[in-house]
C-alpha cells in the first residue's frame, strides 16, 4: 500500500501507512480499544502540524462537568489551567469538551442530517500526547466521535477519505476490496515554500506582511476552482501557524480519482524548480486564460505586497537575481551600473528603473514585447501561489481537521471568510487559552440581580467566546452544502421516475 500523508503548514506531516511502521502504543490501549497496526509513533510531533442554531453544540457552564477516559467526573475549573501550556492535555480536554463544533463537523462530512456511510466509513487519525499516531478510526455518529476524542484526548486529529468499508474492519473484508471511494479535493499553501522570496520572516515565523502571500494565493486559486472547474463549495481554513488549507466539498470534487486530482493540481502549478534553480516561470505566449487572469489579479498586489513590503531586490545579491530574470545583456549592464552607484536603492525604484533604462538604452537586441513578457513572468514568480501539489493529488491523503488546535501556537484552525480576505490576520486568530479565559470571564448579560436565575444553561460556550464568528461561518457553509446535496438527491430521484 502506498504511503499515506497529511498536509500541514509545518511541512513534516507525511504519515506513513501504519502497517509499515508498527510501534509500541505506550499506554494507548488504556484509553481506547485500538489495534497495534493502527498506531504510528512520530519522532518530531512538536514540529507537526442560515443555520446558526444555538443548540447544536454541547452547552456547559462553569459548574458543569464532563467525564474523562477513566469515567471519573472532572470539574471544569478553567481558572486552574489558565497558566498551563496550550498543548497541555487538560487544556485540550476542556477545548474538545466545550468548544469543538462536533455536530457541524458531522453534518459537513456526512452530507445529510441522518447518519450515513459518508461519515461511518470516513477515516479519522489521531495524534496522541504520547507521540503515537492512531490511524483508521471511524464512527457512526458525532456523539461516538466526540466520546472517543474525550477518551483519547489527542493533541489534534486529521480527516481522511470515505472508504468502501469501515476503516476499522479493513482486515476483515476481501483482499483488494478495501479502497478509498471519495474525499474532498484539498489544497495546502505553506509560507515555508516562500522562504526564498519573503524577506520579513523565515521558517516558522510569520507576520502580516508575508501573510499577504497567502491572501494572494487564495484569491488566485479560489477563482480558478470556481470559474474554470465549476466548484461552488470551497472552504478555506487557517492551518494554525503559517498556512491555509482549501477543502473543495462539491460532490463532483469528492468523487474525483487520483488522475483527475493530479490534473487539477498540475493545471494550477506554473512555478517550476527548487530554490537553487534559475528562472522558475517560463510561459508560452499567448498566456493561458487562467495565467492571464492570475496576472491581472496579482499585478495590483505586486507593488505594495512585494516591492514595498518585501523589498526583494534591495541588496546586491537580490538585485543580481532580478537581472538574471531580464532578457537583454546590455540592459542588464546599464541597470547594474546604475544600482552600484546608488547602494541600498529600494526595490520599487529598481523596478521603475527597468522601463526607464529600456527607453534610453542603445541595445539592438532588446525587444519591448519580450521585456514586457519577462516582467510578467517576474510578477508571477514573486506572487503566484506555491502549492504543495502532493497534498492535492491523492485520494487517500489526510488533512488536519478544521477547528483543531495547533500544538505549537495554541491557535485554532478557523475557517477564513473569503468575502473579507484582506481583513484576516493570523495574529488575531483566537488561541485555546484565550478562549478558555473568555469562558471563565463571561458575564450573563440577561441576569440583572444576584438572586435572578442565570441564562447560562441556554448559552453555549462557543457563544461566550471570540470563536463564535468562525463557528457561524462554518455553520453557514455547511448549510449551503447540505442544501446543494438535497437538491442533487431530488434531481437523481426524479430521473429514476
CA distance 314 to 311: 6
**Coil, strand, or helix at residue 399?**
strand
Find the catalytic residue in 9, 57, 184, 188. 188
Query: 405 — alpha (psi -120 to 50), left (phi > 0) or beta?
Result: beta
φ, ψ of residue 56 to 5 degrees: the values are -90, 0
Give the H or E element holding residue 142.
Answer: helix 142-152
Find the catalytic residue in 10, 13, 57, 123. 123
Find the catalytic residue in 8, 38, 57, 190. 190
CATH number of 6-57+101-194+228-264+388-430+467-490: 3.90.920.10
Instruction: Give yes or no: 451 in active site.
Output: no
Q: How far is CA 143 from CA 48, 103, 105, 263, 332, in A?
A: 27, 8, 11, 38, 66
CA distance 417 to 382: 25
Q: Which residue has the cell 479535493?
A: 185
129 class by beta-carbon count within 10 Å (0-12 exposed, 13-18 middle, 19+ buried): middle
Instruction: Give yes or no: 190 in active site.
Output: yes
Domain locations in the chain as residue ranges? 6-57+101-194+228-264+388-430+467-490, 269-383
Of 172, 181, 174, 183, whose CA–CA distance to 37 is shortest?
A: 172
**Cα torsion through 126, 425, 211, 471, rounded to 10:** 40
Give the H or E element holding residue 342.
Answer: none
**Strand 180-182 vs strand 415-416: parallel, antiparallel, or unpaired?**
unpaired
In tens digits, what is the pLDDT along the chain, a chain of 497 residues?
A: 433 444 444 443 333 333 333 333 333 333 345 665 666 544 433 333 333 333 333 333 333 334 444 444 444 567 677 767 887 899 999 999 999 999 999 999 999 999 999 999 999 999 999 989 999 999 999 999 999 999 999 999 999 999 999 999 999 999 899 999 999 999 999 999 999 999 999 999 999 999 999 999 999 999 999 999 999 999 999 999 999 999 999 999 999 999 999 999 999 999 987 655 689 999 999 999 999 999 999 999 999 999 999 999 999 999 999 999 999 999 999 999 999 998 889 999 999 999 999 999 878 899 999 999 999 999 999 999 999 999 999 999 999 999 999 999 999 999 999 999 999 999 999 999 999 999 999 987 766 555 555 555 589 999 999 999 999 999 999 999 999 999 887 777 666 65
Q: Who contacts 281 (Cβ-Cβ below 8 Å, separation ≥6)?
A: 270, 271, 272, 377, 378, 380, 381, 384
Amino acid at each position: 500500500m502506498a504511503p499515506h500523508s497529511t498536509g500541514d503548514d509545518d511541512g513534516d506531516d507525511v504519515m506513513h501507512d501504519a502497517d509499515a511502521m508498527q510501534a509500541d502504543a505506550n499506554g494507548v490501549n488504556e484509553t481506547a480499544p485500538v489495534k497495534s497496526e493502527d498506531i504510528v509513533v512520530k519522532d518530531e510531533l512538536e514540529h507537526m502540524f442560515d443555520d446558526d442554531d444555538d443548540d447544536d453544540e454541547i452547552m456547559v457552564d462553569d459548574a458543569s462537568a464532563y467525564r474523562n477516559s477513566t469515567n471519573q467526573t472532572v470539574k471544569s475549573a478553567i481558572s486552574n489551567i489558565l497558566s498551563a501550556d496550550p498543548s497541555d492535555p487538560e487544556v485540550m480536554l476542556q477545548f474538545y469538551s466545550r468548544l469543538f463544533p462536533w455536530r457541524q463537523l458531522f453534518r459537513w462530512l456526512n452530507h445529510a442530517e441522518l447518519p450515513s456511510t459518508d461519515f461511518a466509513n470516513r477515516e479519522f487519525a489521531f495524534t496522541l500526547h504520547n507521540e503515537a499516531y492512531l490511524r483508521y478510526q471511524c464512527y457512526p455518529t458525532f456523539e461516538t466521535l466526540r466520546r472517543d476524542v474525550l477518551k483519547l484526548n489527542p493533541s489534534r486529529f486529521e480527516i481522511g477519505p470515505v472508504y468502501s468499508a469501515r476503516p476499522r474492519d479493513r482486515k476483515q473484508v476481501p483482499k483488494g476490496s478495501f479502497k478509498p471511494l471519495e474525499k474532498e479535493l484539498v489544497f495546502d499553501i505553506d509560507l515555508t515554500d516562500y522562504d526564498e522570496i519573503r524577506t520579513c520572516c523565515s521558517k516558522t515565523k510569520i507576520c502580516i506582511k508575508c501573510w499577504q502571500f497567502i491572501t494572494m494565493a487564495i484569491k488566485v486559486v479560489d477563482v480558478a476552482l470556481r470559474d474554470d472547474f465549476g466548484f461552488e463549495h470551497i472552504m478555506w481554513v487557517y492551518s494554525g501557524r503559517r498556512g491555509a488549507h482549501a477543502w473543495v466539498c462539491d460532490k463532483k470534487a469528492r468523487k474525483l480519482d487520483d488522475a483527475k486530482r493530479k490534473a487539477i493540481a498540475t493545471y494550477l502549478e506554473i512555478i517550476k524548480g527548487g530554490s537553487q534553480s534559475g528562472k522558475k516561470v517560463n510561459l508560452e505566449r499567448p498566456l493561458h486564460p487562467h495565467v492571464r487572469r492570475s496576472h491581472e489579479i496579482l499585478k495590483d498586489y505586486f507593488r505594495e505586497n512585494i516591492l514595498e513590503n518585501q523589498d526583494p531586490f534591495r541588496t546586491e545579491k537580490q538585485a543580481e537575481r532580478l537581472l538574471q530574470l531580464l532578457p537583454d545583456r546590455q540592459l542588464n549592464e546599464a541597470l547594474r551600473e546604475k544600482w552600484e552607484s546608488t547602494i541600498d536603492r529600494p526595490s520599487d525604484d529598481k523596478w521603475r528603473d527597468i522601463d526607464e533604462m529600456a527607453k534610453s538604452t542603445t541595445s539592438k537586441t532588446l525587444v519591448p514585447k519580450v521585456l514586457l513578457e519577462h516582467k510578467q513572468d517576474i510578477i508571477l514568480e514573486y506572487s503566484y501561489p506555491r502549492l504543495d501539489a502532493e497534498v492535492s493529488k491523492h485520494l487517500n491523503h489526510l488533512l488536519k481537521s478544521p477547528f483543531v488546535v495547533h500544538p505549537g501556537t495554541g491557535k485554532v484552525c478557523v475557517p477564513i471568510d473569503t468575502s473579507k480576505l484582506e481583513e484576516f490576520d493570523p495574529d488575531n486568530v483566537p488561541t485555546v487559552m484565550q478562549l478558555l479565559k473568555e469562558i471563565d470571564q463571561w458575564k450573563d448579560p440577561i441576569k440583572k440581580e444576584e438572586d435572578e436565575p442565570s441564562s447560562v444553561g441556554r448559552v453555549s460556550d462557543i457563544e461566550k467566546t471570540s470563536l463564535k464568528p468562525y463557528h457561524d461561518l462554518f455553520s453557514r457553509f455547511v448549510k449551503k452544502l447540505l442544501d446543494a446535496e438535497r437538491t442533487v438527491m431530488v434531481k437523481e430521484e426524479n430521473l429514476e421516475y
